[in-house]
Amino acid sequence: MERYLNQGITLDELVGGKPIIGICQSGSDLTPCNRHHIELVKRVKDGIRAAGGVPFEFPLHPIHENVRRPTAALDRNLAYLGLVEVLHGYPLDGVVLTTGCDKTTPASLMAAATVNIPAIVLSGGPMLNGWRGAERVGSGTIIWELRKRLAAGDIDYAEFLARATDSAPSVGHCNTMGTASTMNSLAEALGMSLPGSAMIPAPYKERAMVAYQTGERIVEMVWDDLRPSDVLTREAFDNAIVTCSALGGSSNAPIHINAIARHIGVELSNDDWQRLGHEVPLLANVMPAGVYLSEEFHRAGGVPAVMSELLGAGKLHGDVLTVNGRSLADNLAGRGIQDPAVICRYAEPLVDHAGFLNLKGNLFDSALMKTSVISADFRARFLSDPDDPNAFESKVVVFDGSEDYHARIDDPALGIDERTILVMRGAGPVGHPGGAEVVNMQPPEALIRAGTESLPCLGDGRQSGTSGSPSILNAAPEAATGGGLALLEDGDRLRIDLGRREVRLLVDDAELAARRERLEQQGGYRYPAHQTPWQEIQRSLVEPLDRGMTLAPATKYRDVARL
């Protein structure tokens, strides 16, 4: 303890009974989406000191979504483990979690759930809107569009790069409703951050104000002994699921929210996401499901305006406690929609059923489909049979990981046509350590040039939350751990029945059993070797995507706060 004094901390600060507050700093040059927190924590510290606490800033393991290879998701559990050790092992009375880029938010919340000391989330906020002339350019979403333009020969690579960087005009995390905005919004929906704070754009002055208020509030939370377990209740998770649908939130949200729930001891499954979330309408007109970006969303009322509509429609539990010590209903009073073009009224939504379907069948136990992004074109091509408007059958072409896909997608011998279902396997948490965001596969260039811009995709990996593709993804169990996708062969026919929430391989059980036996004789589904110690450790302990991709031994630890 005396070593703290060498930074000029006085004995009175250290042992005078003032709350000692950790600030988990997630920003760095390696996590540029959160880099703004390096400035914001100055205001957090001001708030902590003003309220009588003593701040101690320390780093979170870096997680940068679009640079880290093999995938940033591999580091979610590593950052979680590191933060648990810090929160358990150092004499901190409370912690401010600085969040932003996709996995920094769930990693921090998972650790706070395990340790269960007073904790509050401060989002760094999204970037300002990206623009190209009068056209909005949304982070991530523009990449998926540009890749198609590049494949079709409309633009060259220099133009691709120039237009891609238009989407990142300021400090902050992705300005679309990708995984970053979704997870920060859901942290607020869970009650873990100050009301209205999740989506204030990073450069706005209100962002620094809320940083100060967050610092003040964590000190009060320590005195009140208000802990994550008081906020992260079953009802709070129900609220997060419903809010996610209305936001058109990322398909990564069920993974992360289920993980946070498991660490606090609430059992949540993808059946809950379908039961509570599927029927909820899309209210946020934000990319990729809508047309606006985070600045308009914030001005239109942000997360409180969406939740206030949902509460009015009887879809939320209003009596849950939040980190400011008040109920959700109290926090939402008077925070209605400011611009109905950006946040729709519950009675006039953009899409009626915006949540996830939880599909099952003879290939997997759970796979999600985000129904808010099924386009009219997709419906016309695949869901237009008047006798069976929710189902279609088609043949598959199968890829083993993204390298295989990139190597072979344009091979005419595959016979991919405008009805083919593209299947990606070997992309789950074990097959591709951490799980790859590769299920939204682009059709062959020749097909794009001929006018088919998308095909149905299915896989055991994930996809970026900024993608507007209605893929069937996160299939669990994955091929690498014995899941049925390992048994698929090119040319097999699948029946996808959204009405019955089912995907079936149209071969009989005897044939499936014979294929399984052959696969087992070959030693099971092959995947690439481990490249680092952590890849091997994570692969040996990680649970499937529908269980939150948590580390199996970790979820039994609860309330490990140092006494």
User: x/- binding map, residues 66-105, to ligand FES, per CB under 6 A?
Assistant: x----------------------------------xx---
- Report the site for ligand FES in 179-198 (rule: CB under 6 A): 180
* Closest approach of ligand FES to the CB of residue 103, in Å: 9
Q: Which is nearer to Mg ion, 167 or 179 (CB)?
A: 179
Q: Enumerate the H helices of 501-559 as residue ranges.
A: 509-521, 533-541
Q: Which does 464 bind (CB under 5 to 8 A by kind): Mg ion, ligand FES, none?
A: Mg ion
Strand 94-99 with 119-123, pairing: parallel
User: Of 3-11, 171-179, 222-230, 246-254, which part binds ligand FES (CB under 6 A)?
Assistant: 171-179
Q: Which residues are CB-contacts of 91 (< 8 A; sequence separation ≥ 6)?
A: 1, 20, 562
Residue from 78, 174, 231, 554 in contact with ligand FES (CB under 6 A): 174
User: x/- binding map, residues 51-70, to ligand FES, per CB under 6 A?
Assistant: --------------xx----
Q: Please tell me whether residue 139 binds ligand FES under the rule CB under 6 A.
A: yes
- Report the site for Mg ion in 163-192 (rule: CB under 5 A): 179
User: x/- binding map, residues 93-122, to Mg ion, per CB under 5 A?
Assistant: ---------x--------------------
How far, rounded to the nearest angstrom, does the alpha carbon of residue 100 sit from its chain's CA centroid?
11
Residue 279 burial (CB count, 10 A): 14
Handedness of CA 430, 435, 439, 442 (dihedral sign): negative
Q: Which is nearer to Mg ion, 144 or 527 (CB)?
A: 144
Backbone angles phi, psi at 333, to 5 degrees: -60, 125
Cα angle 432, 247, 314; round to 5: 125
CA distance 177 to 36: 19
Q: Which does 33 bind (CB under 5 to 8 A by kind): ligand FES, Mg ion, none?
A: ligand FES
Handedness of CA 245, 476, 360, 458 (dihedral sign): positive
Q: Which does 327 bind (CB under 5 to 8 A by kind): ligand FES, Mg ion, none?
A: none
Q: Which is nearer to Mg ion, 442 or 464 (CB)?
A: 464
Strand 366-370 with 493-497, pairing: unpaired
Q: Please tell me whether residue 337 binds ligand FES under the rule CB under 6 A.
A: no
CA distance 478 to 463: 15
CA distance 322 to 212: 18
Q: Which does 362 bind (CB under 5 to 8 A by kind): ligand FES, Mg ion, none?
A: none
- Report the site for ligand FES in 362-391 (rule: CB under 6 A): none
Q: Which is nearer to ligand FES, 33 or 164 (CB)?
A: 33
CA distance 346 to 252: 24
Contact 555, 508 (CB under 8 A): no
Q: Which two tokens stand for residue 187?
A: 């942290």
Q: Please tell me whether residue 230 binds Mg ion under the rule CB under 5 A.
A: no
The footprint of ligand FES (CB under 6 A) covers 33, 65-66, 101-102, 139, 173-174, 178, 180
